[in-house]
Amino acid sequence: MGTAFAVVLVFVGCCSNVVSLELLVRKFPGCGNIVTFAQFIFIALEGFIFETKLGRKKPAIPVSNYVIMVTMFFTVSVINNYALNFNIAMPLHMIFRSGSLIANMILGIIILKKRYSASKYLSIVLVSTGIFICTIMSAKQVHDVSSDGSEKQGFYAFMRWLIGIAMLTFALLMSARMGIFQETLYKQYGKHSKEALFYNHCLPLPGFLLLSTDIYNHCILFSQSTPVLVPVVGLTMPIMWLYLLINVITQYVCIRGVFILTTECTSLTVTLVVTLRKFLSLIFSILYFQNPFTAWHWVGTAVVFMGTLLYTEVWSSMQAALRGVEVKAKKAE
């Protein structure tokens, strides 16, 4: 029952979160900072009340270690959201972030001196190829769109897109490095996922002072958006604030679902659920919002997800499960 409930939370929460984020970004492409801030403060408040018992519970992992982890987490979150301001389409954003498993594996080889099977190395090639195809096709779209204007404007748009790609690449590698650091911490102190979730969102809050001007400007822009009547409660509020509220709540639901899954299932199952969720979010984003997506984009996407599924050894697990069912059937005969 717990596993099924967690899977529902992940799919409903994360897919709704992608939709609300796209609605926000389509109206104000540079709203990444206010979205990140709202998500952080909501999860930090929830953790302060329910995890730390209003500050009375001492952390199991030293705060000094959390400071290092938080610096990386804050950087990754801000850069990922801010990259949307640099001509990065939402589908490409999602595809790029699907390479997190492979980035983690590459850094594991370099830093932890890990060794993997041939299938794992093949998955690296597949995911890298898929992301490369999608990136090249998106670059062509940026060039085609920008070429409608002057040559100077076209060059400026393309350079902004390249900066966005560089930001996503840096965030991907930084996220993988954070995963390795987290892994070593959990080996030393044990798993404390809820505690880590709280400190990862609470400690970076002062860092948003550096982004306060941008956040304040977007607060004004959000307040000036079209007012709408909120169902059930019967209150009227600007539509952008409603989208932000939905985004924050669905982000929390998604994170809680993933947390429940990590306690109920194996890491393989968690990875598979999250990968399938990303794929569904991508399909929905393309169909509902009519984001530009060519045949080559579909090829690149398919290759990325094939590589991800190969990495998680889903095929061999399914074959083993099917063999087990066949053995049981034969014994029953």
Query: Do 250 and 16 form a contact (C-beta atoms < 8 A)?
Result: yes
Pairwise CA distance, residues 8 & 253, whole Å: 10
Tokens of 54: 């209003």
User: From CA 76, how far away is CA 145, in angstroms rounded?
Assistant: 29
Position 296 scores a pLDDT of: 80
Positive or negative: CA dihedral 215, 28, 98, 278: positive
pLDDT of residue 103: 79
pLDDT of residue 293: 73
pLDDT at 34: 94
Backbone angles phi, psi at 227, to 5 degrees: -75, 145
Residue 242: its pLDDT value, please? 94
| 57 contact partners, CB below 8 Å, separation of at least 6 | 51
Longest dimension (CA), the chain: 75
Secondary structure (3-state) at 228: strand
- Residue-by-residue pLDDT tens, the chain, 333 positions: 567 888 888 888 888 888 898 899 888 988 889 999 999 999 999 999 999 998 899 999 899 999 998 898 888 888 888 888 887 777 778 777 767 767 777 888 888 787 878 887 887 788 778 777 777 776 666 555 555 555 566 778 888 888 988 999 999 888 888 878 887 888 888 878 788 889 988 999 998 999 999 999 999 999 999 999 988 888 899 999 999 999 999 988 888 888 777 767 656 567 667 767 777 777 777 777 776 777 887 888 888 778 777 776 766 666 666 676 566 666 666
| E strand segments, the chain | 227-229, 236-238
Cβ-in-10-Å burial (0-12, 13-18, 19+) of 112 comes to exposed
> What residues have CB less than 8 Å from 75, skipping those under 6 apart?
171, 174
| pLDDT recorded at residue 298 | 84
